[in-house]
Amino acid sequence: MVTIGTFDGVHLGHQKVISQLKNFASQHDGETVIFTFHTHPRLVTSPGETNLRLLTTLDEKIALLEKSGIDHLIIYPFNREFSQLTYTEFVEKILVNKLKTHCLVIGYDHKFGKNREGGFEYLQQCAEKHQFLIERLDALAVGEESVSSTKIRDALQAGEIEKANLFLGYPFTLNGTVVQGKQLGRTMGFPTANIEASDKNKIIPGYGVYAVKVSVNGGKYNGMLNIGTRPTFNNNADNRSIEVNIFDFDNNIYGKLVTLEFLGKIRDEQKFAGISELAQQLARDRQTALQILK
């Protein structure tokens, strides 16, 4: 039993496909196989692409898919040569000859092969020719909206953390390393750890102040995080920073890896008249963050 896709985010829609895959496998005494890719196809087919940001790094995607309880995970190198395969070639060389596919489960918007020719109708013809079953699932809806990786990316960029997390089925996470900062927060009683994201292609939520859970050194802490330009201190609008104030924590963690779980947005980024006014707002932000993190 096989399903194919990029599975960026392994969101609720993907989880629906995986659940159905496991159901078919149990009914037919088969094994579950997820066939996915690295790197993301758009980064190969559109080499000038600079705007694509991913919901999950490769390691994050592997961890999420392993947690889903599948039998086999195939991560195929998506390169220029592979991108030139027609869908017919992919079906014959990969699905039939290598994987011996008995049943293929696909999402509602599945497209694959050179020029994305492999839609459902075309795939049905391949299934009849090579004698395997095919099942297409409808889009998963949350409320009145269908779930998709694109909609989750849009929500994150708009700072709509609750919506993104609802569609993902888990809190959005960002991994990074603590780097040296200007230590301006310490002067106000709100020391911050400056974070450098681990993967340049990983999406970062839009500018603003967020309530987060911070995992570092084997512990998990509450915190609040600012993504932005530090407008009270900077005149350079392009100098984006990721700074987290970890509550009730004062250890030296320079160079340490941290995982940030985004639980909600506190407010937009704004400029204050001075340090005193900013410090007062940070005290209010902390209380708001604690309410969200409860």
Distances (CA, A) of 192 to 28, 65, 109, 223, 241: 54, 33, 43, 10, 11
Provide the pLDDT for residue 271. 84
Supply the pLDDT for residue 230: 58
pLDDT at position 138 is 85
47 with 91: CB under 8 angstroms? no
Length, in residues, of the chain = 294
Contact 213, 261 (CB under 8 A): yes
Mean pLDDT for the stretch of residues 41-70? 89
For 181: left if phi > 0, alpha if psi spans -120 to 50, otherwise beta; the answer is beta
Given phi > 0 = left and psi -120 to 50 = alpha, else beta, which region is 100?
A: left
Candidate from 2-6, 71-75, 116-120, 154-158 with smallest mean pLDDT: 116-120
Residues 161-189: what's their mean pLDDT?
A: 85
What ranges in 207-274 are assigned the alpha helix state H? none
Q: Are strands 172-179 and 241-246 parallel, antiparallel or unpaired?
A: unpaired
Cα distances (angstroms) measured from residue 166 to each of 34, 44, 110:
24, 30, 23
- pLDDT at residue 185 is higher than 60: no
Where would I find the beta strands (DSSP E) of the chain?
Answer: 2-4, 33-38, 72-77, 103-106, 133-136, 141-142, 145-146, 172-179, 193-197, 208-216, 219-228, 241-246, 257-267
Burial-class residue 97 by CB neighbours within 10 Å (0-12, 13-18, 19+). exposed
- Specify the higher pLDDT residue, 50 or 10: 10
Predicted local distance difference test score (pLDDT) of residue 66: 93
What does the pLDDT average to over 208-228?
96
Instruction: Report how far apart, in Å, the C-alpha atoms of 109 and of each of 8, 13, 76, 102, 228 are.
Output: 14, 11, 21, 21, 35
Query: For the chain, first and last CA: distance in Å?
Result: 41
% of the chain surpassing 90 pLDDT:
59
- Greater confidence (245 vs 49) lies with 245
Average pLDDT over residues 105-123: 74
Highest mean pLDDT among 25-34, 82-91, 112-121, 269-278: 25-34
Rounded distance, CA 182 to CA 274, Å?
Answer: 17
The 10s digit of each residue's pLDDT in 120-165 is: 888 888 899 999 999 888 878 888 899 999 999 999 999 999 999 9
Q: Looking at the predicted structure, is the pLDDT value of residue 239 above 60? A: no
> How many whole angstroms separate alpha carbon 55 and alpha carbon 100?
31
CA dist 160 and 8 (Å) reads 18
**Predicted local confidence at residue 48, as pLDDT:** 77
Please say whether the beta carbons of 274 and 223 come within 8 A: no
Residue type, 141: A
Domain annotation for the chain: domains and CATH numbers: 2-146 (3.40.50.620), 171-293 (2.40.30.30)
pLDDT at residue 70, rounded to an integer: 94
Query: Does the structure show a pLDDT above 50 at 236?
Result: no
Closest CA relative to residue 135, chosen from 90, 101, 173: 101
What are the C-alpha distances in Å from 208 to residues 104, 224, 260? 42, 10, 15
